[in-house]
Amino acid sequence: MSSPAASASWLEDLSLDKCLQLLRQCEVGRIATVVEGAPVIVPVSYRLAEPPGRTWIAIRTRAGSVVDQADSKVAFEVDVIDTVQHEGWSVLVRGTLHHVDATAADFRERFDPQPWILAERDVWLVIEPFAITGRRLRAGEREWAFQLRAYL
């Protein structure tokens, strides 16, 4: 038996402005890279950094971590899922990972992603996007889960 919302649900593409708005609202996402020929995805805290004319995802990690040693081409994703309403959204950022000097141009003060674990998070990186896309799953109207005639 399928869910009442499954047949009436639909996906909508999100505009770049909406994707950026959603990226600003979140603190944790997932970065994907390839390690030894296989994909690896790890959660990271981040901040959307928007200096004039640029958009970056700023990340801090520890030296030698998977993220520190990642290839330059990465994917980054944030999402919110409502399992009760069968709705949600996802934003995907594909870009180039760069190491940065946190002391240059007040980078540390302006774009600190404030990782949940501060110890040893001395490596600063940014993802410079070449594509930002997003989708929202909308649930259709749900039927009443209980049939009235079952109680009569």
Query: What CATH number should be reported for the domain holding residue 89?
Result: 2.30.110.10
User: At residue 93, what is the residue type?
Assistant: V
150 domain-assigned: no
Look at the block and give the residue holding tokens 């002391």: 103
Judge whether 29 lies within some domain.
Answer: yes
Q: Is residue 4 part of a domain?
A: no
Residue 125: Cβ within 10 Å count: 23
pTM of the full structure: 0.78
The strand pairing partners of 100, in sequence order, are: none
- Strand bridging mode 10-13 / 28-35: unpaired
pLDDT at 41 over 50: yes
Flag whether 12 is in a domain. no
DSSP label of 151: G
Over pLDDT 70: what percentage of the chain? 74
- Residue 39 domain-assigned (yes or no): yes
Domain with 126, as residue range(s), is 17-139
Look at residue 9 and tell me if it is in a domain.
Answer: no
Question: Is the Cβ–Cβ distance between 56 and 111 less than 8 Å?
Answer: yes
Count of domains observed in the chain: 1
- The per-residue pLDDT for range 66-113, each reduced to its tens digit, is 998 888 999 999 999 988 878 899 999 999 999 887 666 666 655 655
Bridge partners of 73, per DSSP, are 96
The pLDDT score that the predictor gives to residue 108 is: 60
